[in-house]
Structure 1
Amino acid sequence: MINSGEILRKFENKEFDDVLIKLYPDNREAINYQRKRYTDMINKSISLFGDTDVEIYSAPGRTEVGGNHTDHQHGEVLAASINLDAIAIVSNNSHNKINIYSIGYAPIEIDLNNISYNKEEEGTTTSIIKGVLNGFTNHGFKIGGFNACITSDVLNGAGLSSSAAFETLIGTILSGLFNNMTISPVDIAIIGQYAENQFFGKPCGLMDQMACSVGNFVHINFKNPEKPVIEQVNFDLNKEGYSLCIVDTKGSHADLTDDYASIPYEMKEVAAAMGKNLLGEINSEEFFNEIPVLSKKVSSRAILRAIHFFNENRRVQVESKALKNYEFEEFLHTVKESGDSSYKLLQNIYSPKDATNQPISLALTLTENFLGDDGVCRVHGGGFAGTIQVFVKNSIVDEYKKYIEKVFGTDSCHILSIRNVGGTKVC
């Protein structure tokens, strides 16, 4: 640990700029922003908890790159951590309590003698923290009391997993303060999912937490969800002269629960017709050979969605291999294939209950018309409303942002980059 006043002086004197550049490899202007962000939070920590010894931790948000609606069928996904993150200025305390001050939220105090599940706390930040603490103790890891000042620029509601970033941040703090940073990113991700499922009350998969915790591009095979096969794929998007954009189309997520639920439901219908629980339990060749029989048992849309699943698994493998071999054109081609499949087969671009309202369709069409051969786009996340993902050449990214924001509003387009580390101790 370093005295907070001393670490503040080092940040102000730019002595930590090399560390920041590794976390946020965008440009010098971004480093100026991050330096101020960190110094502001150190000052906040001093004002709340005194001029104590501190450590600093960071955990990024994530983006889904390939594997649209495959994880819930125990398929394959390609995800990546991004340069938006949650950071925490942390100090030990001797009170056996966790005190958290998070910008924009009410302060939280948790007594380590009372970290059991509480139904009334479901859906709260407290439930997430208690879930992570329980996960640590269940795994035989150490926990303890600490104070933390936290801020996050991971966008809420944009499919970038702000909750998974927070879970990863808490797990990484506990790993650093009480376990000598020996807990693997995979274990931290598994504990984060446990916290969200069992304490927060959201039945999410493991992709979000894994991408936030592991970092860079991550290829995950969920065939055995208890022991997923995880491969980090190191790739520098900026070296290829490209940026990642997430465009918020401002579509409402209201009344879309049935649309989201229909995808796993119909995929499971196909699996059941073949005597299995999930599509991930079925051989791809066997499925395609069985389509004439399936067409008499389930709906045609269910079959189309199943075709998407099996082809999407293959595309994830192609995308991962292309990145490992720095075959970027092959990667972009496959991302476009994935987007086309989501549009035509998975059919999660707009709600059939409101077919005249299609902001994602409009965003995709306008983006393709603008980019030509200078990038690709696809639906981002669950679909039906929300965001699209765009890989666009750096030379036109500012122009693209201005163009698309004329339709969807100021700051609807977020220019991001891929971060090469997941949850980490900054200093």
Structure 2
Amino acid sequence: MRVGPLAREKIFIRAAKLNQFLRGYIMDIVRRMDSRAAQRALERLYGERADKQLWRYKALAKKFAERFGREDFKFFSAPGRTEILGNHTDHNGGRVLAGSINLDTIAAASPRGDGKITVNSEGFDREFCLELSELGPVYSEQGTTNGLIRGIAARFKQLGMNIGGFDACIMSDVLRGSGLSSSASVEVLICQIFSQFYNDGKVSVMDIAQISQYAENQYFGKPCGLMDQLACACGGVVAIDFNEALMPECESVKYDFARKGYSLIITDVREDHADLTGEYAAITEEMGQICAHFGVKRLCELEEKAFYASLHELHQAVPDRAILRGIHFFEENKRVQRGIQALKKDRLPDFFREVILSGESSWRLLQNLYKPGSIKQSLPLALAASELLLKEDGAWRVHGGGFGGTIMAFVPNAQRKIYIGQMNRLFGEGAAVELCVRPIGAVCLEM
């Protein structure tokens, strides 16, 4: 069907009016975000970095308006997380000390009444769309954002909570593959959207974390513990005891490392840690061999005295590496407890000593710094370099799963630029990233 000159002119006029409307509409939104209320909301999350974050939210608002043509949206934010103490202890009912960080995933979102979800995510060449009438697992969605959203919605419904459709635009500066839990950040963000729009914002932090874990395990197809999701959802420095598997005990630990003159720096050693699923699995499998020997399911159920009293018979029954990893578990739990007490009593040198001992235990006992037999040992190199640079002021340890990936260091502010420069020189520009602990977890912002 041909369109005549007059009809084409009318179409162009309507398009021009729509563009003019959108430009004015977007400018109104951007001006609103320069208000004092918006500034206070950002300062609560980002502190002195609030001004630098404002452009992200303006860009997100502009993107939402252009994509969906609506102004009735709310802003959401969910942080990434850092593991401070407690390496590979959570899966056996141990203790960890974790913290949410200033890098986060943010969303502009608005509810819709047709039971459909549309998510436009920066960095992806297609949108994620699904209908809430179909919530069963989809095999082809494993490893995708669609799988996470569907799994979260399904779990909300299974637990008797309300769900509904929404449109959202998402941006994230949580570095992928760096052990900062970019996937958990997205998960708790989506949970917070469902909570705010359809459950009066009353879904608990524990429910958000457990729903997120369910989605990642059952729909995304990745086995994971609960530490990442809890740290992202809670905010601040948090001590978590996983002794009670279904309801871990969480305690907020108020501490501001930045005010004490130290920066938290994560360095990505850029060593390929793909195809290492077997190495990660071996840690839990070998700890499981010790559990099987004593007839328990997790090491937290085993008395430490009984473990040490049985080293001789364990030596005959299980691989020696399993015993060493068992020793790491029990000693690491005590390090976490001592570290928490040191922070509560403001004894920072004592806390740093526990962090360093944790890293040494991961290297020597847990043995998760490099693949057995490999001459490529970038994590040990990064830790050795950190020790040479920092000497006795600060702390350093492996960060996260190990076998490649990242290390964490607490660095005096006076040495921050030197440390970052040397680590970047060693592992490549941008390898070292300065972070800070954010005091607030997943949240809907009042702006």
Same fold per TM (> 0.5)?
yes
- For 2:134, the equivalent position in structure 1 comes to 114
Q: Shift of residue 4 of structure 1? A: 7.3
Paired AA for residue 10 in structure 1:
R
Q: Shift of residue 80 of structure 1? A: 0.8
- For 1:8, the equivalent position in structure 2 comes to 30
Q: Which of the residues 317, 321, 334 maps onto 2:337?
A: 317
Query: d(CA) in 2 for partners of 1:8 and 1:139?
Result: 38
Q: Which of the residues 390, 401, 404 maps onto 2:420?
A: 401
Which range moved further: 390-399 or 150-159?
390-399
SS of match in other structure, 2:373? helix
User: TM-score scaled by structure 1?
Assistant: 0.95
SS of match in other structure, 1:254? coil
Q: Shift of residue 6 of structure 1? A: 4.8
After TM superposition, the structure 1 = structure 2 runs for residues 232-381 of structure 1, keeping only pairs within 5 Å, are 232-354=252-374, 356-381=375-400
Which range moved further: 325-334 or 300-309?
325-334
Q: Which of the residues 379, 387, 390 maps onto 2:409?
A: 390
Which range moved further: 83-92 or 104-113?
104-113
1:132 aligns with 2:152: yes
Query: d(CA) in 1 for partners of 2:52 and 2:201?
Result: 28
Indicate the RMSD between aligned Cα atoms, in angstroms.
1.5
Query: d(CA) in 2 for partners of 1:266 and 1:288?
Result: 16
Change (3 A) 1:5 1:191: farther
1:410 aligns with 2:432: no
Deviations 1:163-216 (A, max 9, x none): 000000000111111111111111100000000011111110000100000111
- For 1:21, the equivalent position in structure 2 comes to 43
1:57 aligns with 2:79: no
Paired AA for residue 34 in structure 2:
E
The 8 Å contact of residues 81 and 232 in structure 2, kept in 1 or not, is answered as yes
The 8 Å contact of residues 308 and 346 in structure 1, kept in 2 or not, is answered as yes
The 8 Å contact of residues 5 and 51 in structure 1, kept in 2 or not, is answered as no
Paired AA for residue 109 in structure 1:
C
Q: Shift of residue 13 of structure 1? A: 4.9
Q: Shift of residue 122 of structure 1? A: 1.4
- For 2:4, the equivalent position in structure 1 comes to none
SS of match in other structure, 2:358? helix
Deviations 1:60-108 (A, max 9, x none): 0001111101111111111111000000011122322111111111111
Query: d(CA) in 2 for partners of 1:187 and 1:51?
Result: 30
After TM superposition, the structure 1 = structure 2 runs for residues 64-143 of structure 1, keeping only pairs within 5 Å, are 64-105=83-124, 106-143=126-163
Query: d(CA) in 1 for partners of 2:122 and 2:138?
Result: 25
User: TM-score scaled by structure 2?
Assistant: 0.91
Paired AA for residue 394 in structure 1:
N
Q: Shift of residue 286 of structure 1? A: 1.4
1:191 aligns with 2:216: no
1:158 aligns with 2:178: yes
Paired AA for residue 113 in structure 1:
S
Q: Which of the residues 206, 217, 223 maps onto 2:237?
A: 217
The 8 Å contact of residues 338 and 378 in structure 1, kept in 2 or not, is answered as yes
Q: Shift of residue 115 of structure 1? A: 1.9
Query: d(CA) in 2 for partners of 1:254 and 1:163?
Result: 17
Which range moved further: 16-25 or 129-138?
16-25
SS of match in other structure, 1:316? helix
The 8 Å contact of residues 154 and 162 in structure 1, kept in 2 or not, is answered as yes
Q: Shift of residue 14 of structure 1? A: 5.8
Query: d(CA) in 1 for partners of 2:199 and 2:27?
Result: 25
Query: d(CA) in 2 for partners of 1:425 and 1:13?
Result: 17
**Higher radius of gyration, 1 or 2:** 2
Paired AA for residue 56 in structure 2:
R
Query: d(CA) in 2 for partners of 1:296 and 1:249?
Result: 38
Query: d(CA) in 2 for partners of 1:244 and 1:151?
Result: 23
SS of match in other structure, 2:194? helix
SS of match in other structure, 1:62? strand
- For 2:14, the equivalent position in structure 1 comes to none
Paired AA for residue 326 in structure 1:
D
SS of match in other structure, 2:340? helix
Paired AA for residue 78 in structure 2:
A
Query: d(CA) in 1 for partners of 2:169 and 2:119?
Result: 6
Paired AA for residue 57 in structure 1:
F
Q: Which of the residues 194, 203, 210 maps onto 1:174?
A: 194
Paired AA for residue 412 in structure 2:
K
Query: d(CA) in 1 for partners of 2:27 and 2:161?
Result: 31
Gapped regions of structure 1 (runs ≥ 5) = none
Which range moved further: 234-243 or 160-169?
234-243
